[in-house]
Amino acid sequence: MKPTLYILAAGMGSRYGGLKQLDGVGPQGQTIMDYSIYDAMRAGFGKVVFVIRHDFEDAFRKQILSKYEGHIPTEIVFQSVDALPEGFSVPEGRQKPWGTNHAVLMADGVIKEPFAVINADDFYGRDAFEVIAKYLEEIKPEDKGRYCMVAFRLGNTMTENGSVSRGVCTADCNGKLTDVVERTAIAYDDNHDIFFTDAEGKKQTLDASTPVSMNFWGFTPDYFDFSRREFVKFLTKYAEKPKSEFFIPSVVDKLVKNGEATVDVLDTTSKWFGVTYSEDRPTVVENLRKLHEAGEYPDKLF
């Protein structure tokens, strides 16, 4: 069974200053999503599902979906702040979306096969897609709670232009994930060391080789069942906090520690880059130009 690629494209793009999912950064105006879908197709993925917001559906269909017709099947689902379980309502003043794992939940009932989750605005590289596709294709229909993630080295995922959020990971000697903690303000200090500020306001350093999640996960469909359960728990505890978010790493961490799932940490030779801030754009443009010149990608992807 061919796996499905699920692309998280509902982000507000507030730090970047616009809808970065639709920004043409390749030599022929390709978006970062174009490269991800091209890499996914040649790695063996059979379908692409996007989660977006209703307010830019028309632009998304015209600028994005139309180009994939005849290449790979696509589907859209929508994330909105009022997409809540029965018995819950949007707290007064809540405008912020509920986070990445809420976005994953929007595909419940649409995706029924093993699937990979990626961010729309991150470039993961060909090898990363090949590694995770191979893993997902080997999953048997009866397998439950058998997940994976592609780990990148923290130093290869930083930007000089501000702070980033990363799921900091720990694995055992068998390559199984034992711990993942979402850190939301990782940045360089004046000495170019990497640090974050912990819950107590203390500065903590991180090694550049630390494996981190870039939201490149592989799941079996039972992940939706766990996510529904955990979202209810999350809302019960945090719904009234206006900036609270339901993160993928937080759910995965609970499932691993409860013994309900295992996560294989997959290595990749790929180099990550992305456009967290508008100042990152020139570097992304230059990196993609070099990959085209090296023959990694054709002039026209679709």
The CATH number of the domain where 120 resides is what?
Answer: 3.90.550.10
Rounded Cα distance between 118 and 41, Å, is 14
Question: Does residue 271 or residue 21 have the better pLDDT?
Answer: 271
pLDDT of 19 higher than 80:
no
122 neighbors 215 (Cβ within 8 angstroms): yes
Structural domain boundaries, residue 266: 4-144+213-293
Average pLDDT score over residue span 212-239: 95
Q: What percent of the chain has pLDDT over 90?
A: 66
Give a yes or no: residue 72 inside a domain: yes
Q: Report the largest interatomic distance among the alpha carbons of the chain, rounded to a whole angstrom.
A: 55
Looking at residue 16, its pLDDT comes to: 42
Give a yes or no: residue 182 inside a domain: no
Looking at residue 57, its pLDDT comes to: 86
Question: Does residue 147 or residue 277 have the better pLDDT?
Answer: 147
pLDDT of 269 higher than 50:
yes
Give a yes or no: residue 187 inside a domain: no
Joined tokens for residue 193 = 């060391």
Q: Dihedrals φ, ψ of 32, to 5°?
A: -60, -35
Looking at residue 23, its pLDDT comes to: 79
Give the global pTM: 0.88
Half-sphere exposure (CA, 13 Å, Cβ side) for 179?
6
Kindly report which listed range (70-79, 162-171, 268-277) carries the lowest average pLDDT score: 268-277
Rounded Cα distance between 268 and 152, Å, is 7
Looking at residue 63, its pLDDT comes to: 79
- Residue 112 CA to chain centroid, in angstroms? 19
Between helix 126-137 and helix 32-43 the angle, nearest 10°, is: 40
184 neighbors 165 (Cβ within 8 angstroms): yes
Give a yes or no: residue 171 inside a domain: no
Residue 17 banded pLDDT, cuts 50, 70, 90: very low
Total domains in the chain come to 1
Give a yes or no: residue 193 inside a domain: no
pLDDT of 152 higher than 80:
yes
Average pLDDT score over residue span 130-150: 94
Give a yes or no: residue 9 inside a domain: yes
Question: Does residue 224 or residue 56 have the better pLDDT?
Answer: 224
Rounded Cα distance between 134 and 155, Å, is 26
Give a yes or no: residue 151 inside a domain: no
Question: Does residue 274 or residue 146 have the better pLDDT?
Answer: 146
Residue 213 banded pLDDT, cuts 50, 70, 90: confident
SS3 letters across the chain: CCCEEEEECCCCCCCCCCCHHHCCCCCCCCCHHHHHHHHHHHHCCCEEEEEECHHHHHHHHHHCHHHHCCCCCEEEEECCCCCCCCCCCCCCCCCCCCCHHHHHHCCECCECCCEEEEECCEECCHHHHHHHHHHHHCCCCCCCCEEEEEEEEHHHCCCCCCCEEEEEEEECCCCEEEEEEEEEEEEECCCCCEEEECCCCCEEEECCCCEEEEEEEEECCCHHHHHHHHHHHHHHHHCCCCCCCCCHHHHHHHHHHHCCCEEEEECCCCCCEECCCHHHHHHHHHHHHHHHHCCCCCCCCC
Total count of residues recorded for the chain: 302
Looking at residue 12, its pLDDT comes to: 44
Looking at residue 49, its pLDDT comes to: 98
In this structure, the strands spanning 164-171 and 177-188 are: antiparallel
Looking at residue 21, its pLDDT comes to: 61
In this structure, the strands spanning 4-8 and 211-219 are: unpaired
Q: How many C-beta neighbours within 10 Å does residue 23 have?
A: 21
* pLDDT tens by residue, 252-264: 989 999 999 999 9
Question: Does residue 215 or residue 71 have the better pLDDT?
Answer: 71
Rounded Cα distance between 84 and 121, Å, is 26
* pLDDT tens by residue, 55-101: 888 878 887 899 999 999 999 999 999 999 999 999 998 888 899 99
Kindly report which listed range (21-25, 32-36, 221-225) carries the lowest average pLDDT score: 21-25
Looking at residue 15, its pLDDT comes to: 46
pLDDT of 156 higher than 90:
no
Looking at residue 20, its pLDDT comes to: 57
Average pLDDT, the chain: 91
Give a yes or no: residue 299 inside a domain: no
